[in-house]
Structure 1
Amino acid sequence: MAKRGPGEPASEFDDRLRVLTALADKHLPPLAAADFLASLRPALRLEHAREGQEVVARLGGLPATAVASWPAWDEYGPLAHVLSFRCGPVSMMLPELGLPADGELAFFYLDQRPDFFQDAVVGTWDASTRPGFRVLHLLPGGISATPPGLVPLPAVELAAIRTLTWPSYDAPAAEAVWGKHGLSGPREGMPAPAVDALYEALEELSAGGGDVHQIGGHPHPQQNPVEYEAEELRHGLLDEPFDASDPEVQAAAVSWQLLLQVASDDDADMMWGDAGQLYYLVQDAQQPEEALFTWQCG
């Protein structure tokens, strides 16, 4: 079972752990409940910083650390800086993610503002769109090379709340639990009644919805599990066929870990499709620049 970090005060994490434990015990057989609780992951939920709150991350604007080579997609120009955070404070608040201890992570994506958007879609089904996103691990001492004419997105400072997340019912981590305990449901893609009841209760727990800025933890997909989409892109980059029903693909999908989720945000002039979200996923958080990307909207 996920545990509170060393010295971590009572927080949303503790409240959620108590509620999730009670819900799993209520709706699932004991062994399945234990495995479901073991799949929970701590995360940092990011919210607009209020006066007196510690700023942990920033939407839009420019990274605090110099970018020596600004990422660009040759055909469409420089990418937009979406969000950045300092690794040190985040690693202290979320040691489970395993980030590098120093520097800053900066996340980029093709600028989607109406004045900049040029009929391009970055998609996991098309590996040639890979230049449309980047993650940079920035270290102090670099020389800034901001492209001429770049218009940054509005900057919004973010505070962090340590929380606890669960996998969507059809995420690879959850499907492994249901398959192990015979809770996969009467039809493919449909949860068993006990799982369905559990997730109805979880929906009430997440009354604020899954549209959040978040570091680590389980992603909040708006469509299919994003882990499979990352695996689809990996196959495309290797020029290998992709079949989501392949047991090897399903096993590989479990290895993907959410690094960052960025929701649409009016204050930062961010609208991803129809109020969608961006997802950056890694297999090893010590290598954040190897992150792959997908996005979804409702």
Structure 2
Amino acid sequence: MKELKAVGLEAFLNEIESLCVECTTAELSSDIIEQGSSKIGGHPDVPADFEWPFYRGLPLEFLLQLNCAEVNSPILPSAGYLLFFYCDGVWADVRGKKDFIRIIYIPADVAVSNHQAPGIHKKRFWGLLKPKRLPSIYPESKISFKRSFSLPDLGEYPYEELKIFDEDDYLLDAYCTLKENLTGSKLLQISGYPNPVQYDGITEDAARVMGKGKAEEWQLLLELNSLGGFMWGDAGRLYFSIHNEDLAQLKFSDVWMQMQCH
């Protein structure tokens, strides 16, 4: 693996291979954005009867759409579209507030077209400042995908193989660099181990807040970085987690999202 050689860990190929889990990453592309293609920002491609999601009277921001056939991820459907929405600035830790995010699956046989976001003006400081137009529209860009491998976060997983890297400063730095190069520096990641900014209790939090199953029954659906016009807090990341049973049934109503930043 050339990535190991780049950080001087080629002698630890067996240990690294035993830890790796397959995932999908994505980066910005300069290709033309065709209707129904995978992209971030802009306006979504949705059915004619689509109703824009709101949270407590506020329209959610459209983050991205995934054309599942383009993604070709082992955890996603083989076709159809997956759309992600978020009410930026809302942080919640109770299930009753779960609708501050919305993930919508559209089957491949449903006709879609571009849909403009509704616009409302929210008063600021009791009308003393110029109203803010919502939702925010993020810069639009096509995205391209690549199969990759993810690594667990040091100190958070009880793997014997990790002790080697955690007890030597040089190996510790090399391992962290390798993890960052594989997935942490990318625009987004689908499945695999997350790249926590603060701590890796992401699936544990999802299981606790949603009151469903154990942490090991949840997995990372999507990690979205502060790149491509996105900025989550202080250069943070969004982590969308889903229960394995819900994923198997293409049920995305109980996805939980956590934001971590510096």
2:55 is aligned with what amino acid? W
What are the superposed Cα offsets for residues 160-189 of structure 1, whole Å, 9 maximum, x if unpaired?
232222111134xxx2313xx7949xxxxx
- The aligned residue for residue 152 of structure 1 is 137
Distance of aligned partners of 1:233 and 1:204 in 2 relative to their CA distance in 1, 3 Å threshold = closer
Q: Partner of 1:78 in structure 2?
A: 59
CA change 1:157–1:142 in 2 (3 A) is closer
Alpha carbons of structure 1 residues 208 and 89: separation in structure 2 relative to 1, 3 Å: closer
Deviations, residues 14-73 of structure 1 (Å, cap 9, x unaligned): 534x649x838549xx7xx2xx53331222222111358999631111222337232211
Percent identity (aligned): 24
In angstroms, what is the RMSD of aligned CA positions? 3.6
State the 1:203 CA deviation.
2.8
Letter matched to residue 23 of structure 1: L
1:134 matches 2:119: no
Q: Which residue of 2 aligns with 1:260?
A: 222
Residue pair 2:60, 2:88 contacting (<8 A) in 1 also: yes
Aligned residue number for residue 2 of structure 2: 15
Unaligned runs of 5+ in 1: 1-13, 113-120, 185-190, 241-248
Q: How many residues align?
A: 237
Structure (1 or 2) with the greater strand fraction: 2
What does 1:1-298 align with in structure 2 at a 5 Å threshold? 14-16=1-3, 19=5, 23=9, 25-26=11-12, 33=15, 37-51=17-31, 57-66=38-47, 68-75=50-57, 77-91=58-72, 94-95=73-74, 98-112=75-89, 121-123=90-92, 125-139=93-107, 140-141=110-111, 148-149=118-119, 152-171=137-156, 175-178=157-160, 183=163, 192-193=166-167, 197-205=170-178, 206=180, 210-214=184-188, 215-225=190-200, 228-238=201-211, 252-265=214-227, 267-268=228-229, 270-284=230-244, 285-286=247-248, 287=250, 289=252, 290-298=254-262
Contact 2:33 2:142 in 1 (8 A): no
Deviation per CA, 1:221-269: give whole Å up to 9, x if none: 10100xx23432432333x9xxxxxxxx9xx32333222111123x53x
User: Unmatched 5+ residue regions in structure 2?
Assistant: 120-134
Q: Is the alpha carbon distance of 1:52 and 1:283 closer, same or farther for their aligned partners in structure 2, counting shifts above 3 Å?
A: same
